[in-house]
Each structure stands twice: as structure tokens, then as C-alpha cells.
Amino acid sequence: MTYDVPDSHPRKRSLERRYELEEAASKGLLAGTAMIAHGRGEAFDYLLGERTIPIANEATIQAAIMLKSAVRPIISVNGNTTILAGEELVGCAALLSCPIEVNIYYRTPERISGLVAHLEKCKKIVSIKPPNNWKRSPEEWERAVNNVIILGSFADGLIPGLSGPRAICDVNGILASDAILVPLEDGDRCEALVNMGLKVIVVDLNPLSRSSLMSTITIVDDVTRFSNNLQEKLLIFQRLKREKWDNKKSLQVALDTINETLQSSIK
């Protein structure tokens, strides 16, 4: 079901994203709890003023550097991330020459193949339009996007220390990687990835979640805004400056920003 939200509606973007998730759920691409997870994120986004806060921008810069400097980076996506930021992350994967692996908490073969097919569709859309700052030819962009491998369908490995289907991953994907971008991760899976020795970059609007607290770099931002921002940063990679990252300190800054936003919102 698609709905036409008038441009004048103050919550147009938020409503349209809900409809996108609703539609994906009706196609069987999302688990029943997907909307609840999204709602928790939306609540925090309200408190942040629905914008990329400065500390999230700084975290995104450090994430871009970490992913570019990795030997085998990977982007791991769940259902919500695929629907809300599939195209943007395909663009990032093209710029990083890395695979995208579909990993879902409530794993069924139908859901995995549906999400993989969705990302293949994203590749087709993204390949025909290079980003604004792309300096090389459109053909080179098309090739870079077409070279992005979508993993997940034939996962043959297990993340150590996790039980059940959510441990399943690809031997040539997550198990072979040294840095992982894993938006909207679940806390104990994040912990298991950190224990594997990976550098873990999480995107989570909740600065207090276990994923946020566990990861190497947490970006307290909406996954779509973040993915757009990451793509922009990857395109100007040479100009980015590496800084020593204290993740706990950055989470405190995000909490302070929420506090300041609240203080100034009702006068």
C-alpha cells in the first residue's frame, strides 16, 4: 500500500519511511519486530532534533577513515537498514570496493533472498547515476557498483560466541573481514564481533544501547542520513583527518546534545 503524503505535512519524511517499512513488511522482508525497533530509533531522533549532530559527523569522518584503511572492510545489513539505506550503502560499498552481507536476527531463506534481491535492485538504480563528487567516468562508477558482491544467501560460517541462526555469516564475508560497518546492530552480536578482534562501526540513534556502548565507533545518527553522509566523506577521503577516537566520550557528547536540544526546545 502506498500513500501520498502532501508536501505540506510536517512529518512527511517520517511518514514516508514508515510506509516504506510497512510495504517491505507486507512483502515478507522484515520481521514482526522491525517497526518496534524503528520506533525506538525515531524517539531518539526526535530528541536529537532529527538532524546529524556535530559529534555524529565527526564519528562518520573517523568511520570513513577506518573503513578506507581496512584491508578487508565489509558492510553488514539487516532488514531495516536494507530498506532505509540500501541504495546509499551500495554507493558506499562501491567506493570501498567491499561486499555487503545480509545478516538478520530472525533468519528465514525467503527473507534473506528477498533482501539480497532488493540490494541487487539497488545496484541497478545506483549504477546509472554517479554521485555529484565522482571525479572519474560514469562507466567506472557503473563498474564499481556492479562489482559490489551481495553476500548472505549461502552463509557457511558462524560468529563465535553466539547461539542460534543469528550467528550465521559468510566465511568470505564477515569471517574474513577486519573492519565491519554494521548499522542497527543488536548488542550481544556487536559484542561477539568485537571479541572476534574486528573493528566495529555501529549506527544507532540510541547512545545508551549496548551496541553503542560496545562498538569501536558509534555514529548516533539516523541510518539513511548517516549513509548519505558516509558516501560524501568517502568521496573526499584524501581531505579527512584521522583523530584519536574515544567512543565513550563521544557518546557522552551525544547525550549532552540531547540535553541541550531539550533545554532549548520549549521556551
Binding site for ligand ATP (CB under 6 A): 37-38, 40-41, 44, 84, 184, 186-187, 203-206, 209-211, 222-223
- Residue closer to ligand ATP, measured from CB, 61 or 184: 184
Nine-digit cell at 177?
Answer: 573481514
Of 88, 185, 186, 222, which lies in the binding site for Mg ion, with binding defined by CB under 5 A? 186
Least Å distance between CB 72 and Mg ion? 26
Contact 75, 98 (CB under 8 A): yes
CB count within 10 Å of CB 147 equals: 13
Partner that binds at residue 222, options Mg ion, ligand ATP, none, CB closer than 5 to 8 Å by kind: ligand ATP
Q: Nearest approach, Cβ of 252 to ligand ATP (angstroms)?
A: 17
Q: Which of 23-31, 143-151, 178-186, 243-251 is the region at the interface with Mg ion (rule: CB under 5 A)?
A: 178-186
Q: 206 touches which of Mg ion, ligand ATP, none (CB within 5 to 8 A by kind)?
A: ligand ATP
Residue 171: which residues within 8 A CB-CB, separation 6 or more? 156, 157
CB 216 within 8 A of CB 201: yes
Which residue number, 20 or 142, has a Cβ lying nearer to ligand ATP? 20
Among Mg ion, ligand ATP, none, partner that 87 touches (CB below 5 to 8 angstroms by kind)? none
Residue 60 identity (one-letter amino acid): T
* Grid coordinates given for 98: 567491499
Contact letters for Mg ion, residues 134-173 (x by CB under 5 A): ----------------------------------------
- Residue number with CB closer to ligand ATP (38 or 123): 38
Interacting span for Mg ion (CB under 5 A) from 5-13, 56-64, 187-195, 241-249: 187-195
CB of 85 to ligand ATP, least distance (A): 8
Cell of 163: 547461539
3-state secondary structure of 183: coil
Cβ nearer to ligand ATP, comparing 74 with 203: 203
What is the distance between the alpha carbons of residues 74 and 93, in angstroms, rounded to a whole number? 8
Amino acid at 126: V
Of 62 and 78, the one with the shorter C-beta distance to ligand ATP is 78
Residues with Cβ within 8 Å of 186's Cβ and at least 6 positions away in sequence, in order, are: 105, 166, 211
Q: Which of 30, 1, 31 is nearest to 16 (CA)?
A: 1
Strand order in the sheet with 100-102: 150-151, 100-102, 73-77, 179-181, 199-203, 217-219
CB of 82 to Mg ion, least distance (A): 18
If the CB atoms of residues 45 and 101 are measured against ligand ATP, the closer one turns out to be 45
Q: Which three cell numbers stand for residue 241?
A: 583527518
Nearest to 44 by CA among 245, 211, 228: 211
* Among ligand ATP, Mg ion, none, residue 79 binds (CB under 5-8 Å by kind): none
Q: CB of 41: closest distance to ligand ATP in angstroms?
A: 2
Binding site for Mg ion (CB under 5 A): 186-187
